[in-house]
């Protein structure tokens, strides 16, 4: 007898006596499919979704049997069609997604079909959190001034978002000024378990931000995808992924006095990067995991993209239920949560030996030490006492060895020198959701002020809490005032410095930095510190806990030994050391009592419209189809211009040219920056040609609804290095989005060269090293690549989301084999891809024929990184969006 969805329906009873149905995982043993009690908990939650959506079309019995029979070390070839319960968006990725949906409705209307066929089939929440910039920071009304600027700059985008709210039935918006998407998700949107037609099931989601994984700390399965993939999920497609390996991380012991959750997460990031967990599920377990607060777990889960995993998952237990209660969820919701997971035999932190994992890593929490990470990557952890010698070493190392190539010692004019801190920001979802480290920052500030310490006025200080709850409990604990006295005034509720919205520096300071070519620093409590992401003028960026951000702001420099050198001189004329003002765990624990008031959470999340006049004053158009009025922020995307109901075959790649050749660790920030737009860049020149002055450029992130800007911004990061260009006279690599147009070798912007090749009908390729596309789940890194005419990206390895996004836009990801690389390519060659003439199969071998300028030929074998059968379909349809649209309109 074949398995049917209703075969696993069983019941459990709530405290109220109500009987509820659920799809029982233990029932699989009764049905002869298998005992799943030793499966990783994260996989069991995915398996429940397969049972619930078993329809013989998207989800078949074979999918259930394959996952139920998961073996820890088996080869991975099957794909899982995962139907998620909901989707979350942030506005930088949400606006272009809404543009695509609006464009699909326009296509439906052109084809004489009902536009309402294009409608999200699962609930979608968009949190507007990426648009605010830190222009004002020490003024009393900095928050109000920044929000007014935000609304003035983004009025066109916000009108479009409001149109979306009324056009789509299942599309809800959390307006600006409420908080960061991941903290809002953790504190408010996530419900633990959901129910429909009397059937209960676990919360699950994907989000268009790589740090969606923060919700894994709450026992919720979810991860970041590109908006391209999220759209497909919204429109009824499962999220497809290869059956993963699951790495168990056994945590034991407890954190020592003086060690924070941030120190732990930087240690775990370093550990798991070295263990190469890219594309794998990571599941934490053991007594150490059970000892962590829910917020500490969320901090660890948040940085899964930094350690490369699909998820960093903590199974649900009493800590989870207690957090749901403390943050204002109802007694009935928490009771349903606990009883549901008990019925599924999944409630409680697994202990050593209870679960079968693909591999196990072990970490003793007692071994974690105070740490920072940088200056360019989150996984480059530095123990705090080693920061000064490490910075000095990097300062003098040559650029080709990853250093800054500085030989001079002293002799600087002005107030700055190498190592000076210019930005100190308590920012980002990673740490501002964690009351332990936020209160520690406030307590350190309180002690510093009492000793007479201060922060130099030229340092740009800011506090951007993840939600209004943070401001509330800091105020109740009387810790806002000392933070403000040191310059850490609430400047925004949103993703600021970490996303590149640090705002401008004082022009005189910036001139001093550039004039003397200084290596100055930012210190921030975020999760991203990639080159030129924080600020184009600042070359050394260090991640750290909020209290350390305050400490380094007081010190004013990063080349300091905080154990042996004082932060400054107190009001009594005596030196003050970090140990003198570092708060104890007991002090933090006492302050934490202010942060667990469920009524506060309910009050601050009950109504987003009241008390939000700036949002309420935004006028929006109405109707099912968007009118596409002229705008420099919103334009109808070109992806459906030549849309037909039948796809056309992709032309072969012959006579192709290299558009650029990059090295290792090219991030999505390098490919599609989110920050400021240079007036001299192709995007800056385009905007000026539209009559927009540089003062009104806003950022690349805010203009993601306009393809003309974003095409020109692709590969426009000021720190990106195209290896086709020879170093300058001083031996320094040439930086910026430049290339050599072949065959003449003329230097020009990558955009201008790409358009020249497009007009000539010449396909182009991108070459790169390891970890291509690491970082944010940025659609435009793939969309821009496609619109520049790039047919394939050839790299040594890809980050998970960007590889998927490339396929989703009809661009081939190809991987070097057997130690091959782009080394030896000059950029003047021509290329031909062979092996796809008879059709495409997942992960097949292909060959790249390379003809050099002298006429010599050689072939390289490559692995096609189209990984699953459904991705073959996406590519053959020209991308995931045309594929889904054809299904909806058929």
Residues forming beta bridges with residue 867, ordered by sequence position: none
126 contact partners, CB below 8 Å, separation of at least 6? 88, 89, 90, 91, 94, 98, 161, 164, 171, 172, 173, 174
Residues forming beta bridges with residue 569, ordered by sequence position: 575
Other C-beta atoms within 10 Å of 859: how many?
11
Q: What is the pLDDT of residue 776?
A: 77
Q: What is the pLDDT of residue 408?
A: 67
Residues forming beta bridges with residue 557, ordered by sequence position: 420
Q: Name the least confident of 65-74, 449-458, 601-610.
A: 601-610
The answer to whether 791 and 812 have CB atoms below 8 angstroms apart is: yes
Select the more confidently predicted residue: 166 or 729. Answer: 166
Tens digit of each residue's pLDDT (9 = 90 or more) over 360-382: 999 999 999 999 999 999 999 99
Could you give the count of Cα atoms lying within 13 Å of 885 in the half-sphere of its Cβ?
A: 30
Rounded CA separation 487/495 (Å): 19
Residues forming beta bridges with residue 193, ordered by sequence position: 202
Cα-trace Rg, the chain: 27
* Tokens 């989601």 -> residue: 205
The answer to whether 591 and 482 have CB atoms below 8 angstroms apart is: no
Tens digit of each residue's pLDDT (9 = 90 or more) over 626-685: 999 999 999 999 999 889 999 999 999 999 999 999 999 999 999 999 888 999 999 999
Please tell me whether residue 778 adopts helix, strand or coil conformation.
Answer: coil
CA distances to 33, 34, 61, 113 from 1, rounded to whole Å, are: 12, 16, 11, 41
Tens digit of each residue's pLDDT (9 = 90 or more) over 687-714: 999 999 998 998 898 999 999 999 999 9
The answer to whether 625 and 163 have CB atoms below 8 angstroms apart is: no
The answer to whether 832 and 814 have CB atoms below 8 angstroms apart is: no
Query: Token digits for 201?
Result: 């099931």
Q: What is the pLDDT of residue 227?
A: 85
> Would you say domain 86-367 falls under CATH 1.10.1040.10?
no
Query: Band of the pLDDT at 411, cuts 50, 70, 90?
Result: low
Rounded CA separation 139/141 (Å): 5
Average pLDDT over residues 327-351: 97
3-state helix, strand, coil in the chain (%, to 5): 40, 20, 45
Query: Token digits for 240?
Result: 């497809």
Is residue 412 scored above 80 in pLDDT?
Answer: no
Q: What is the pLDDT of residue 764?
A: 98
Is residue 6 scored above 70 in pLDDT?
Answer: yes
Tens digit of each residue's pLDDT (9 = 90 or more) over 800-853: 889 999 999 999 999 999 899 999 999 999 999 999 999 999 999 999 999 999
Please tell me whether residue 73 adopts helix, strand or coil conformation.
Answer: coil
To the nearest whole percent, how much of the chain has pLDDT over 70?
Answer: 99
Q: What is the SS3 assignment for 614-667? A: HHHCCCCCCCCCCCCCCCCCCCCCHHHCCCCCCCCCCCCCCCEEEEEECCCCCE
CA distances to 181, 370, 375, 378, 601 from 262, rounded to whole Å, are: 20, 8, 16, 12, 24
Is residue 611 scored above 80 in pLDDT?
Answer: no
Average pLDDT over residues 579-596: 92
- CATH architecture assigned to 371-605: 2-Layer Sandwich (3.30)
Pure H helices in 327-428: 331-343, 387-396
The answer to whether 232 and 87 have CB atoms below 8 angstroms apart is: no
Q: What is the pLDDT of residue 716?
A: 94
Q: Could you give the dihedral angle defined by the CA atoms of residues 594, 599, 604 and 606, in that order, rounded to the nearest 10 degrees?
A: 170
Mean residue pLDDT across the chain: 94
CA quadruple 735, 738, 740, 742: dihedral positive or negative?
positive
Tens digit of each residue's pLDDT (9 = 90 or more) over 841-858: 999 999 999 999 999 999
DSSP H or E segment with residue 274? helix 261-274
Average pLDDT over residues 132-160: 94
Is residue 1 scored above 60 in pLDDT?
Answer: no
Rounded CA separation 474/232 (Å): 41
Q: What is the pLDDT of residue 675?
A: 83
Is residue 345 scored above 80 in pLDDT?
Answer: yes
Query: Band of the pLDDT at 199, cuts 50, 70, 90?
Result: very high
Rounded CA separation 541/458 (Å): 17
Rounded CA separation 519/748 (Å): 28
Total number of residues shown for the chain = 890
Select the more confidently predicted residue: 227 or 54. Answer: 54
Q: What is the pLDDT of residue 237?
A: 87
Q: What is the pLDDT of residue 232?
A: 87
Is residue 5 scored above 90 in pLDDT?
Answer: no
Q: What is the pLDDT of residue 79?
A: 86
Query: Band of the pLDDT at 410, cuts 50, 70, 90?
Result: low
Write down the pTM of the prediction: 0.90
In angstroms, the first-to-last Cα distance of the chain is: 33
Residues forming beta bridges with residue 9, ordered by sequence position: 23
DSSP H or E segment with residue 795? strand 790-795
The answer to whether 204 and 85 have CB atoms below 8 angstroms apart is: yes
Is residue 425 scored above 90 in pLDDT?
Answer: yes
* Tokens 């700036």 -> residue: 614
To the nearest whole percent, how much of the chain has pLDDT over 90?
Answer: 86
Average pLDDT over residues 435-457: 97
CA quadruple 607, 610, 613, 617: dihedral positive or negative?
positive
Q: What is the pLDDT of residue 402?
A: 87
Phi, psi of 663 (to 5 degrees): -90, -150
Could you give the count of Cα atoms lying within 13 Å of 476 in the half-sphere of its Cβ?
A: 16
Query: Band of the pLDDT at 57, cuts 50, 70, 90?
Result: confident
Tens digit of each residue's pLDDT (9 = 90 or more) over 116-144: 999 999 999 999 999 899 999 999 999 99
Rounded CA separation 745/725 (Å): 10
Residues forming beta bridges with residue 20, ordered by sequence position: 12
Rounded CA separation 567/559 (Å): 12
The answer to whether 438 and 483 have CB atoms below 8 angstroms apart is: no
Domains of the chain, residue spans: 5-82, 86-367, 371-605, 651-670+748-889
Q: Which CATH number fits domain 651-670+748-889: 3.90.650.10, 3.40.50.300, 1.10.20.10, 3.20.19.10?
A: 3.20.19.10
Other C-beta atoms within 10 Å of 709: how many?
26
Determine the longest span between alpha carbons in the chain, in angstroms.
Answer: 85
Do domains 86-367 and 371-605 share one topology? The answer is yes
Residues forming beta bridges with residue 772, ordered by sequence position: 798
Tens digit of each residue's pLDDT (9 = 90 or more) over 738-770: 999 999 999 999 999 999 999 999 999 999 999
């Amino acid at each position: 007898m074949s398995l049917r969805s209703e075969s696993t329906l069983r019941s459990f009873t709530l405290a109220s006596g109500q009987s509820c149905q659920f799809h029982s995982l233990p029932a699989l043993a009764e049905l002869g499919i298998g005992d799943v009690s030793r499966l990783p908990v994260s996989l069991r939650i995915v398996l429940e979704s397969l049972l619930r959506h078993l329809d013989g079309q998207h989800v078949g019995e074979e999918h259930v049997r394959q996952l139920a029979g998961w073996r820890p070390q088996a080869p991975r070839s099957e794909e899982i069609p995962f139907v998620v319960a909901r989707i979350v968006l942030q506005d930088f990725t949400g606006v272009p997604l809404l543009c695509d949906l609006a464009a699909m409705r326009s296509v439906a209307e052109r084809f004489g079909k009902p536009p309402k066929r294009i409608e999200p089939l699962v609930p979608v929440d968009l949190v507007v959190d990426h648009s605010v910039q830190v222009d004002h920071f020490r003024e009393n009304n900095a928050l109000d001034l920044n929000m007014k600027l935000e609304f003035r700059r983004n009025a066109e985008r916000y009108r479009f978002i409001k149109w979306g709210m009324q056009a789509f039935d299942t599309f809800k918006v959390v307006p600006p000024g409420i908080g960061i998407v991941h903290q809002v998700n953790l504190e408010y949107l996530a419900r633990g378990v959901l129910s429909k037609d009397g059937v209960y099931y676990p919360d699950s989601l994907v989000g268009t931000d790589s740090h969606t994984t923060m919700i894994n700390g709450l026992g919720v399965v979810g991860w970041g995808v590109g908006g391209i993939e999220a759209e497909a999920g919204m429109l009824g497609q499962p999220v497809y992924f290869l059956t993963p390996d699951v790495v168990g991380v056994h945590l034991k012991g407890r954190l020592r006095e003086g060690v924070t959750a941030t120190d732990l997460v930087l240690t775990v990031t370093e550990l798991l990067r070295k263990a190469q967990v890219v594309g794998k599920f990571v599941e934490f377990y053991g007594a150490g995991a059970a000892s962590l607060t829910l917020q500490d777990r969320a901090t660890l889960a948040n940085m899964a993209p930094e350690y490369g995993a699909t998820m960093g998952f903590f199974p649900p237990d009493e800590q989870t239920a207690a957090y749901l209660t403390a943050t204002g969820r109802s007694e009935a919701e928490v009771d349903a949560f606990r009883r549901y997971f008990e019925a599924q035999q999944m409630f409680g932190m697994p202990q050593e030996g209870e679960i079968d994992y693909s591999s196990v890593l072990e970490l003793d929490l007692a071994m974690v030490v105070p740490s920072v990470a940088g200056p360019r990557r989150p996984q480059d952890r530095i123990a705090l006492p080693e920061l000064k010698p490490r910075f000095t070493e990097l300062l003098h190392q040559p650029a080709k060895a990853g250093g800054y190539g500085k030989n001079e010692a002293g002799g600087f004019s002005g107030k700055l020198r190498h190592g000076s801190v210019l930005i100190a920001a308590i920012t980002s979802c990673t740490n501002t959701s964690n009351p332990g480290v936020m209160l520690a920052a406030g307590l350190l500030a309180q002690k510093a002020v009492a000793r007479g310490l201060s922060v130099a006025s030229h340092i740009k200080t800011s506090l951007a809490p993840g939600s209004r709850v943070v401001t509330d409990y800091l105020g109740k604990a009387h810790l806002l005032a000392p933070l403000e006295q040191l310059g850490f005034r609430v400047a925004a509720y949103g993703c600021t410095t970490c996303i590149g919205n640090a705002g401008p520096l004082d022009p005189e300071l910036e001139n001093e930095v550039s004039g003397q070519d200084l290596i100055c620093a930012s210190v921030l409590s975020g999760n991203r510190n990639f080159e030129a992401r924080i600020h184009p003028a600042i070359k050394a960026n260090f991640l750290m806990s909020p209290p350390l951000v305050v400490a380094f702001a007081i010190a004013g420099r990063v080349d300091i030994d905080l154990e042996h050198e004082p932060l400054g001189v107190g009001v009594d004329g005596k030196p003050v050391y970090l140990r003198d003002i570092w708060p104890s765990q007991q002090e933090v624990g006492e302050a934490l009592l202010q942060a667990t008031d469920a009524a506060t959470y309910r009050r601050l999340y009950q109504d987003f419209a009241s008390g939000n006049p700036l949002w309420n004053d935004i006028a929006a158009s109405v109707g099912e189809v968007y009118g596409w009025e002229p705008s420099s922020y919103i334009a109808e995307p070109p992806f459906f211009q030549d849309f037909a109901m039948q796809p056309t075959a992709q032309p072969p790649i012959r006579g192709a040219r290299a558009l650029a050749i990059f090295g290792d660790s090219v991030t999505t920030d390098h490919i599609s920056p989110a920050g400021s737009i240079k007036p001299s860049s192709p995007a800056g020149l385009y905007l000026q040609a539209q009559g927009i002055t540089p003062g009104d450029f806003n950022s690349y992130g805010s203009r993601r609804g306009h393809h003309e800007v974003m095409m020109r911004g692709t590969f426009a990061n000021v720190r990106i290095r195209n290896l086709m260009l020879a170093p300058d006279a001083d031996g320094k690599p040439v930086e910026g989005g430049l290339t050599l147009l072949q065959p003449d070798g003329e230097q020009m912007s990558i955009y201008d060269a790409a358009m020249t090749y497009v007009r000539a009908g010449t396909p182009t390729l991108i070459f790169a090293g390891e970890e291509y596309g690491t970082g944010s789940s940025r659609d435009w890194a793939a969309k821009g690549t496609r619109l520049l005419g790039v047919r394939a990206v050839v790299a040594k390895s890809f980050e998970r989301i960007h590889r998927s996004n490339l396929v989703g836009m009809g661009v081939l990801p190809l991987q070097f084999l057997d130690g091959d690389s782009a080394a030896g390519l000059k950029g003047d060659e021509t290329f031909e891809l062979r092996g796809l003439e008879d059709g495409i199969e997942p992960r097949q071998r292909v060959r790249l024929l390379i003809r050099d300028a002298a006429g010599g030929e050689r072939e390289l074998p490559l692995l096609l990184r189209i990984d699953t059968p459904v991705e073959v379909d996406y590519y053959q349809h020209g991308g995931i969006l045309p594929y889904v649209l054809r299904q909806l309109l058929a």
